């Protein structure tokens, strides 16, 4: 981190700073972050509030709003965020969402 001259700000989000560091390190070190695709289905009663959270964890590759109001999507995210993503999704939907790696 000395080489890229980045100093840690204790008042900024950790994830935001990590993204900044990775962006600065790419020219110096060849880094590749493994990506995973996750298929998610969220029941209608939680779909609206969970949409923003899901979008925050990765890139939505495809999505479908179903006739019953539920939302289904495929999200691409860094592999390291998969565990925290499942925890947050379970918390938001009280365990009623389905998610699986593709």
pLDDT beyond 90 at 13: no
Which CATH number, 3.20.20.140, 3.40.50.1360, 3.30.70.240, 2.60.120.380, labels domain 33-101?
3.30.70.240
Mean pLDDT of 35-58: 91
77 confidence band (pLDDT: 50, 70, 90)? very high
What's residue 28's pLDDT?
Answer: 76
What's residue 71's pLDDT?
Answer: 93
68 confidence band (pLDDT: 50, 70, 90)? very high
Handedness of CA 57, 63, 64, 65 (dihedral sign): positive
CA atoms of 97 and 94, how far apart (whole Å):
8
Tell me the domain boundaries of the chain: 1-32, 33-101
Q: In the predicted model, what is the mean pLDDT of the chain? A: 88
């Amino acid at each position: 981190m000395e080489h890229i001259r980045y100093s840690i700000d204790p008042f900024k989000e950790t994830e935001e700073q990590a993204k900044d560091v990775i962006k600065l390190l790419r020219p110096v070190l060849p880094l590749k972050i493994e990506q995973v695709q996750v298929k998610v289905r969220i029941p209608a009663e939680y779909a609206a509030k969970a949409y923003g959270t899901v979008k925050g964890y990765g890139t939505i590759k495809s999505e479908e709003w179903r006739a019953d109001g539920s939302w289904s999507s495929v999200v691409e995210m860094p592999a390291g965020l998969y565990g925290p993503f499942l925890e947050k999704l379970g918390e938001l939907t009280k365990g009623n969402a389905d998610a699986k790696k593709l």
